[in-house]
Amino acid sequence: MLIWSDKIARLNADRLCGLSNVRVRYEPDFKPVRLKSHGRRARYVGNFASIKAGRSLPWESGAERIGLERAEVDPHRIDFRAQPFRLSWYNGHRQISYTPDRLDLNSNGELECVEVKSDRQALWKPEMVEKLGLVRGLLHAVDVGFKVEFASELVRSSGADFVARVLHHRRTVLEPSDHAILDGLTSGFTSGFPFGALCEAYGDEPTAFAKLSGWLVRRRVATTICSDFCEATLIEPICREVTGV
């Protein structure tokens, strides 16, 4: 978590991007700040038990839940947190605050804050667009990325059915014999192996996909999130040790 705190702590500045008295508050291990800052636990609607993040993460809307589910499956997301910090600054005498919906650690080592909206119509207010623009500028000043994610586009995107199926099987138990099968396939192919080889190893597609789902959310393998996932789709093993987590 060192890479997270080092970068986020740099947001504490008397002057940053033309804004005064910029402050950031976060909890150890980036636990959700809204639960603490509001002094009550009834704020959130539900919890998403993430295997990848190794903890339960709160969500306050269906859009946020969809974003958490996508991050759980996306091979480019190494780790993530919900409502990870509270950022505030002054505009004249008025204090403005912002809490991102999610903070992702991506496979390229980049930290990226994510604002989740139901659809693009949610950004119809000019003041909201202006605020998010200021947040983007502050984050970029400390080498942290920022993006807006739209849940309506995620559920309609190519691979949405694949994500749903992986989520259904992500708690699949992985035995030592399963890891032996994965190691055997990894050593037998120079650049990943086709899903069909996994199906052959287990004797049927449902079992192979269930095991694949467990490996995906535990970041033992990566594959393309696509609508035409089939036996020819490439499965790539990835390093179990991740720098920066």
Least confident span in 38-42, 43-47, 103-107, 222-226 = 38-42
**What's the fold here for domain 2-155?**
Trna Endonuclease; Chain: A, domain 1 (3.40.1350)
* pLDDT, tens only, 62-85: 999 999 999 999 999 999 999 999
**pLDDT score for 122:** 87
Position 42 pLDDT exceeds 70? no
Mean pLDDT of the chain: 89
Write out the DSSP string of the chain: -HHHHHHHHTT-EEEETTEEEEEEE--GGG--SHHHHTT-S-S-SEEEEETTTTEEEEESSHHHHHHHHHHHH-TTEEEEEES--EEEEEETTEEEEE--SEEEEETTS-EEEEEEESSGGGG--HHHHHHHHHHHHHHHHTT-EEEEEEHHHHHHSTTHHHHHHHHHHTT----HHHHHHHHHHHHH-SS-EEHHHHHHHHSSHHHHHHHHHHHHHTTSEE----TT--TTSEEEE--S--TT-
* pLDDT, tens only, 109-145: 999 999 999 999 988 889 999 999 999 999 999 999 9
* pLDDT, tens only, 185-230: 999 888 899 999 999 999 999 999 999 999 999 999 999 998 889 9
Residue 37 — pLDDT band, cuts 50, 70, 90? Answer: very low
**pLDDT score for 191:** 84
Residue 244 — pLDDT band, cuts 50, 70, 90? Answer: very low
Enumerate the CATH 3.40.1350.10 domain ranges in the chain, comma separated.
Answer: 2-155
* pLDDT, tens only, 89-115: 988 788 999 999 999 999 999 999 999
Position 2 pLDDT exceeds 80? no
